[in-house]
Amino acid sequence: MNNILEIKNINVYLEGKQILKNISLPVRKNKITSIIGPSGCGKSTLLKTINRILEEEKSCKVEGQVFLKGENIKDIDRGLLRKSIGCVFQNPTPFPFSIYKNMVYALKYYGITDRKKLNNILEEKLKLVGLYDEVKENLNMSALKLSGGQQQRLCIGRTLTIEPEVILMDEPCSALDLKNTMKIEETLKNLCKNYTIIIVTHNLAQAKRISHYTSFMLNGELVEYGETDKVFNNPAKESTREYIGGLFG
């Protein structure tokens, strides 16, 4: 199997309380992997472990290993790691300036200053997220004036500008209406041709629609992992069956 990430024996403690318990999980390259489970089961904590954001929290202890293309993430400079593993959060987080400045911000940080190159990358990534035609005449407009769905697609496009290999998404559609949710889902299905996506979602129908692999978590443990069709239609564990049946049956 072509795994871009290997999560091995991860235990996480916050303020002395164990949040994650011995999580091991492969992540397939250029696939969408959903992480599902009830609130408080550790989904977001696992996501924040993958690019070491969690380690910045006080009273946090992380045991175990995460490998990116065979290299332990603790041996990778954090700046380079965050470039390789991008994040999109639950609520859209555009910077409080223009659409254009949002899209070129990270590029300039990493030393790209050529105007033509910046413009080409901006156009390419906004087209990838289906936003370019909607904003191309208003690139100098404040990003805060965009609709919620447009802001979320802008944030995804901004993440893509520095070419991450993996994109982590924490409930990216929970603040959006159905129309914008479907636009985001279509965007993700197209993006996985070139990027690996891990999405935490409480929306089981969404996980079933877009993901190739699904992980079910409960009480800080990984209960079941496999191809999405199998997890939803023929789960190996009774607790998986109960959870999916209770919310999706």
pLDDT in tens, 171-215: 988 888 888 899 999 999 999 999 999 999 999 999 999 999 999
Nearest-5° Cα angle at 161, 108 to 56: 80
Structure tokens at 100: 């254009």
Q: Distance between CA atoms of 19 and 46, rounded to whole angstroms?
A: 9
Secondary structure (DSSP) of 112-178: ---HHHHHHHHHHHHHHTT-HHHHTT-TTSBGGGS-HHHHHHHHHHHHHTT--SEEEEESTTTTS-H
Homologous superfamily (CATH) of 3-248 is P-loop containing nucleotide triphosphate hydrolases (3.40.50.300)
Q: Where is average pLDDT lowest: 16-25, 121-130, 168-177, 199-208?
A: 168-177
pLDDT in tens, 53-82: 888 887 899 999 999 999 999 999 988 998
The per-residue pLDDT of the chain, averaged, comes to 93
Q: Distance between CA atoms of 175 and 218, rounded to whole angstroms?
A: 24
Domain boundaries, the chain: 3-248
What percent of the chain shows pLDDT beyond 70?
A: 98
pLDDT in tens, 152-172: 999 999 999 999 999 999 998
What percent of the chain shows pLDDT beyond 90?
A: 84
Q: Where is average pLDDT lowest: 47-51, 137-141, 171-175, 236-240?
A: 171-175
Model pLDDT, residue 249:
52
